[in-house]
Amino acid sequence: MLAAAGLVTTVMYMNRPPSTLTEPEERVVTVEVIEVIKENIRIPIQAQGTVSPMRQTSIISEVKGRIVEVSDNLNVGNFVRKGDVLLRIDPRDYQTSLLRAQAALASAQSILAQEEGRAQVAKREWDKLPKGSQRSQQAKDLYLRIPQLELAKAQVLAAMADLNTARDNLERTIVSAPYDALIRTKETDLGEYVAPGKTLAKIFSVDYAEVRLAIPQSKLAYLDLPGVGGYTGSEAAVALYTDVSGDINHWPAKLHRTEGVFDERSRVLFTVVRIEDPYALQDSSTPRLPLRIGTFVNANISGKSISDLVTLPHHILRPGNLIWVIDRDLKLQNRKVSILRTGGDNIYVSAGLDNGELVSLTSLDATFSGARVKIISRTPSNLKQETTLEPAP
């Protein structure tokens, strides 16, 4: 049995097929790449806020009386011009007060004229007295009627003050708009009796509107914020937009100021964006939708210019700030880069990449390190971002 087994083994060994050494097959990975181009970029900062009026006023009655006239424009949502009469309060009592004040002033002026005449007569008589007679200053003042003259002048001033008050009260019976505005609320109507301090209506200005935006502390370095005294140059541009069921509307605005202090709870700095003519009432040459007070808007704030940045899609960044870079031999290499802390769909690489290098847009795991690639498409990095660019040097 051993001899038979040895014979079979020898025959199989002698008749074995020839063996050849083959090189392992290298698999090529197909990728899309982006070519690195450094640029000067203004990084936009996204924020959200609600449109509010720049100026709002409660129209309050300064006099009492019954409302005898109400303007047709005094309705919620109507537009009024500066100086337009909103309503009138019964002026008859104040017209009577004005006549009494005018009569009192005329009487006081008459008394003053009489005292001035008596003082002139007393002065001539005083001059005729002997030079050597003893005369005190008090006796001289009384003889020349100086106290009576001063009293008559004071009465004229008091009558003039009463006349001015009566005239002002009569003017206050006519309630007018202090500026171009929209009526927000209407608190009274025709025939109602009002007292001083009664709210008649609430209005807000339409020449400007404002949006209060919260900016995180980590993103303040990317913005050109105004100082305590405001902007010394041009204000930063802001693009406001709303997206309602896919219908997107845009409005231009400017970053006007900051509130100057951090919010203690959220650690954000509130900035104020100003919109000119939000209701499109002044400039009708370029038709646009009105930006109504209370609208919730998104904002893209144009940041300050930062040099030598590379814009890449956010999805290619792996944990540890790693990305795939393709070397000259068309092989994948792990590269750690430095990025700016910004949100959105893009990342901004500040260090770790050079002009002309290729970065893989295809998502791959760590097992592909050193793998050879085949490039199927190439895109410059300056076409992959949605920021405001300055011309590259």
CA distance 311 to 337: 12
Within a domain: 340: yes
Phi-psi region at 246: left, alpha or beta (left = phi > 0; alpha = psi -120 to 50) = left
Instruction: Tell me, yes or no, whether 81 and 184 share the same domain.
Output: yes
CA distance 29 to 368: 9
Instruction: Tell me, yes or no, whether 233 and 268 share the same domain.
Output: yes
Instruction: Tell me, yes or no, whether 64 and 189 share the same domain.
Output: yes
CA distance 283 to 266: 39
Are the C-beta atoms of 274 and 256 separated by less than 8 Å? yes
Per-residue confidence of the chain (393 residues) as pLDDT tens digits? 888 888 888 888 787 777 666 666 667 888 888 888 888 888 888 889 999 999 999 999 999 999 999 999 999 989 999 999 999 999 999 999 999 999 999 999 999 898 888 888 888 877 777 766 656 777 777 777 888 888 889 999 999 999 999 999 999 999 999 999 999 999 999 999 999 999 999 999 999 999 999 988 888 888 877 766 565 556 678 889 888 777 888 888 988 888 888 888 888 889 899 999 898 887 766 667 888 999 999 998 888 888 888 888 888 888 888 888 988 888 888 889 988 866 667 888 888 888 888 888 888 888 788 888 888 888 887 775 444 333 333
CA distance 159 to 157: 5
Residue ending a domain, choose from 163, 190, 205: 205
- CATH code at position 177: 2.40.50.100
Domain with 181, as residue range(s), is 56-89+173-205
Instruction: Tell me, yes or no, whether 150 and 178 share the same domain.
Output: no
Report the number of distinct structural domains present in the chain: 4
Q: Report which DSSP code applies to 38.
A: -
- Please work out, in degrees rounded to the nearest 5, the angle formed at the alpha carbon of residue 312 by the alpha carbons of 306 and 315: 135
Instruction: Tell me, yes or no, whether 164 and 229 share the same domain.
Output: no
Q: Report which DSSP code applies to 86.
A: E
CA distance 275 to 249: 14
Edge-to-edge strand order for the sheet containing 79-80? 56-60, 199-205, 181-186, 79-80
CA distance 122 to 105: 26
